[in-house]
Amino acid sequence: MVLRRTLLAASGSGRLRAFVSGTRLTRGVVDRFVAGERAEDAVRAAGELAEQGLLSSIDHLGEDVEHPSAAEDITKGYLHLLRLLAEAELTSSAEVSVKPTALGLGLGGEGMQLATDHLSRICAAAAEAGTTVTVDMEAERYVAPTLRLVAALRADYPWLGCVLQSYLRRTEGDTAAMAAEPGSRVRLCKGAYAPDRATGYTERRDVDAAYVRSLRRLMDSEAYPMVATHDPRLIDIATTLARRYGRTYDGFEYQMLYGARPDEQRRLAELGARVRVYVPYGGDWYGYLVRRMAERPANAAFAARAVVRRG
């Protein structure tokens, strides 16, 4: 937990971000977990995954924009990405993931309306292209407004997915609400943000136990569970729960990060499971990468080895 807290603190450090982003020693780490800096790089990665029988969800890196023009630029980037996916005939296997703060959610009083307008444009473009959108969940202060944003857009786009994080105590209630909506797409993950003891679980065993409780609720419902974890034990539990509640492989999916446990991704796909890989791209990779290392110590170990080899 000490390493996790240290890394989560580092993810928000502007000074450390500037130092790490400016050194070539991190290139091996970035190349492992980030598809590239351009939308074309992400489309290429999605195509390679599709050839292996893997689905993908593409994220344009960036969050907490500081001006409405930046949110507009990111929205246009997603529209461009969706056009590229359609041209490459990948929309049957690739969708997009969107962070609400990248669309302006955190910009004070106008934030909610900005994010709603931008997300609506992205959803309309996704529908036209023949694919879907999943809304990422960010730090705890954005959970309630993100859920309101998703609820508002689901009236027109019932396939709009949403992420829930098991480290938050409120998530079991949020899971129950979403599980009551037939067909709702819910990506359940542990969470990659620093917990508050009053509102979140700080011990891994408690986070894992909460994950299983929410996962059981989703499996025993008419929702579509998206099981986002690399934890072998939780993957086995998900498989067991799916069987217990009569779900076939087309009734849920496993999700993992680009560059993380690729052998396991292929193994599950070869069994006939739906496996979706979260593919990030863009130049603003620092915060994303550090949180991934905080989530999974194996990622931090890989990063250290890569830096040593290049040093």
pLDDT in tens, 87-111: 999 999 999 999 999 999 999 889 9
CA of residue 311 relative to chain centroid, distance: 31
Higher confidence at residue 309 or residue 151? Answer: 151
pLDDT, position 30: 75
* Residues 6 and 101 grouped into a single domain: no
Res 301 pLDDT > 90: no
* Residues 19 and 87 grouped into a single domain: no
Both tokens of 185, joined, read: 């797409």
* Residues 246 and 308 grouped into a single domain: no
Active site residue 136: yes
Tens-digit pLDDT profile for residues 25-75: 455 667 788 999 899 999 999 999 999 999 999 999 988 899 999 999 999
pTM value is: 0.86
SS3 133: strand
Res 268 pLDDT > 80: yes
One of 136, 174, 216, 291 is an active-site residue; which one?
136
Question: Residues in the chain, how many?
Answer: 311
* Residues 245 and 297 grouped into a single domain: no
pLDDT, position 7: 39
> What is the DSSP secondary-structure string of 252-284?
-EEEEETTSSHHHHHHHHHTT--EEEEEEESS-
* Residues 53 and 23 grouped into a single domain: no
* Residues 14 and 157 grouped into a single domain: no
In the chain, which residue ranges form alpha helices assigned H by DSSP?
2-11, 14-21, 27-33, 39-51, 68-87, 111-129, 143-154, 171-179, 204-219, 232-244, 262-270, 286-295, 297-310
* Residues 48 and 69 grouped into a single domain: yes
CB-based contact 199:170 (threshold 8 Å): yes
pLDDT, position 27: 57
* Residues 232 and 130 grouped into a single domain: yes
One of 4, 154, 185, 187 is an active-site residue; which one?
187
Q: How many domains does the chain have?
A: 2
* Residues 189 and 92 grouped into a single domain: yes
* Residues 128 and 224 grouped into a single domain: yes
* Residues 115 and 30 grouped into a single domain: no
Res 13 pLDDT > 50: no
Give the largest CA-CA distance in the chain.
53
- Count of C-beta atoms within a 10 Å radius of residue 16: 14
Q: What is the distance between the alpha carbons of residues 221 and 233, in angstroms, rounded to a whole number?
A: 22
Domain CATH number, residue 181: 3.20.20.220
Domain boundaries, position 12? 1-34+290-311
* Residues 72 and 152 grouped into a single domain: yes
For range 270-274, the mean pLDDT: 97
pLDDT, position 145: 98
Active site residue 187: yes
Best-predicted range by mean pLDDT among 62-66, 242-246, 297-301? 242-246
CB-based contact 181:147 (threshold 8 Å): no
